Amino acid sequence: MMKQYPQIASETERITLKEMSIRDESHYNRLLREGQDYLRERYGKEESDEREEESEILGNRARILASIGKYETRNSDGEWGVAAMPPEYMAIETFVESFPRHLYTACALAAIQLNWPQYAIEKKGLTAAVDWLTG
């Protein structure tokens, strides 16, 4: 029996998430480093509620992007087809403004559920990944 992975969908977009492979885990770690560098450049060493909130979002961005198995859009006939994810969904500078909120929440939760050992064992809890981002 083939394993079923969660599909998060809107009327026009559908994202299928998967368990991370070793390569995906490497991608996840690269995305975390990118988030850490971005926050350091944006806030310096300043601690603030805004920085903490953004670090959590960027941690979820890393989880989501490293766990995506397939991105699809619905064509004019109502059929789903594999498509390239919009670049603004992936770019760290535009993720917060462009990634749809309803997809973000569901994808973040599904990515955590699918890959919880990654966060629980290697990062010693989900909050450690966020703490690591804030350096």
CA–CA dist 126, 66 (Å, integer): 15
Q: Specify the residue for token string 């992936």.
A: 90
pLDDT at residue number 6: 85
- Is pLDDT at 30 greater than 60 in this prediction? yes
Give every CB contact of residue 104 below 8 A, 6+ residues apart in sequence: 60, 64
pLDDT at residue number 118: 65
Work out the percent of the chain whose per-residue pLDDT is above 70: 84
- Is pLDDT at 133 greater than 60 in this prediction? no
**pTM reported for the whole predicted model:** 0.82
- Is pLDDT at 122 greater than 70 in this prediction? no
78 φ, ψ to 5°? 85, 5
Whole-number average pLDDT of the chain: 86
- Is pLDDT at 45 greater than 50 in this prediction? yes
Q: Which structure tokens are listed for 9?
A: 């969908």
Which is more confidently placed, 118 or 126? 118
CA–CA dist 68, 38 (Å, integer): 22
CA–CA dist 60, 19 (Å, integer): 15
pLDDT tens for residues 84-95?
999 999 999 999
* 66 confidence band (pLDDT: 50, 70, 90): very high
Strand (E) positions, 12-131? 13-17, 68-74, 80-82
pLDDT at residue number 115: 84
* 48 confidence band (pLDDT: 50, 70, 90): confident
